[in-house]
Amino acid sequence: MLKVDDLKGVIPPIVTPVDDEENVDEQGLKKVIDYVISGGVHGVFVLGSNGEFYAFDYENKKRAVEITVRHVNKRVPVYVGASAITTKECIKLAKMAEDVGADAVTVLTPMFIKPNEKEMYNHFEAIAKSTSLPVILYNNPDKTTNNISVSLLEKLSKIDNIIGIKNTSFDFAQTVEYIRVTRDNKNFKVLSGSDYLIYATLAYGGAGCVAGTANVAPRLVVDIYEKYMAGDYKGAIDAQYRLIPLRNAYNYGSFPVPMKDCLNILGLDIGHPVKPIEHCSEEKLQAIKKVLDDLGLTNI
Q: What share of the chain is helix, strand, coil (3-state, %, to 5)?
A: 50, 10, 40
Burial track 212-248 (b if 16+ CB lie within 10 A, e otherwise): bbbbbbbbbbbbbbbbbeeeeeeebbebbebbebbbe
Please confirm, yes or no, whether 138 is among the known catalytic residues. Answer: yes
In whole angstroms, give the CA distance from residue 62 to residue 112.
24
CB-side exposure of 206: number of CA atoms within 13 Å?
30
The answer to whether 90 and 124 have CB atoms below 8 angstroms apart is: no
- Determine which one of 166, 189, 227, 260 is catalytic: 166
- Scanning the chain, the segments in alpha helix (DSSP H) are 26-38, 58-72, 87-100, 117-129, 141-144, 150-156, 172-182, 198-203, 218-229, 233-248, 257-265, 282-294
79, 138, 178, 199: the active-site residue: 138
Peptide bond into 256 cis (omega under 30): yes
Instruction: Give the integer Cα–Cα distance in Å for 16 and 109.
Output: 21
Q: Helices 218-229 and 233-248 sit at what angle, rounded to 10 degrees?
A: 150
d(CA 169, CA 233): 24
Active site residues: 138, 166
